[in-house]
Chains A and B, each alone.
Chain A
């Protein structure tokens, strides 16, 4: 059974903290994605990666960075968390033109 896991389901952080969200897939997929989901705005792409050590900006990369040192792991980093980064963060992976699989999501609250 295919699996995408995310390091935390819920996180509470303070403004200015550095935050790491991790995503691991066990399907040997080349492509991995980080989205955030907000009411009324839908899913918006933050960053994606189509290979190890490769990364591309999505639609809303400001305030975020990513790391992909190994094929199965894609990390999202909030360099200095702000309250407007409170959101649901979703990781996904896919291979070629095949099905995109999602993790369970991390609900982040920044106080």
Chain B
């Protein structure tokens, strides 16, 4: 059974720092991995999607990598800003279903 773990559960950093969020999964037979952002009381917003054949994806200050063989993905956020404060979730996709991690709650201090 696929399990997805995100470490750390919470993180506080000063503005301007580069940071890395981690996601690990137990079954490497995935179709893709997606990173989301969730603001309090809101739905999830897609940040980056990495297909199983890809190694990384970039969007602006965000870069996500995928190492299927080791069951790991990282989300790199460059030059963090207070507006980046949110919960970040990763999800891996099997045949039909997505399995989500419980998220990393990020606070960027001004």
CB contacts between A and B, total, < 8 Å: 50
Tell whether, in the assembled complex, residue A40 and residue B102 are in contact, meaning their CB atoms are under 8 Å apart. yes
Q: How large is the interface on A (under 10, 10 to 19, 20 to 34, 35 or more residues)?
A: 20 to 34
A 62-106 binary contact with B (CB < 8 Å = 1; else 0):
000000000000000000000000001010100001111111110
Contacts of B34 in A (CB 8 A): 99-100
Report B-chain residues with C-beta under 8 Å of the C-beta of A42. 89, 100-103
**Which secondary structure characterizes the binding site on chain B?**
strand
A48 touches B97 (CB 8 A): yes
Contact B46 A101 (CB under 8 A): yes
A107 and B51 within 8 A (CB): no
The contact sample of 15 A-B pairs, CB cut-off 8 A, is A33-B98, A42-B100, A42-B101, A42-B103, A43-B100, A45-B97, A45-B98, A56-B96, A90-B44, A100-B34, A100-B46, A100-B98, A102-B46, A104-B42, A104-B43
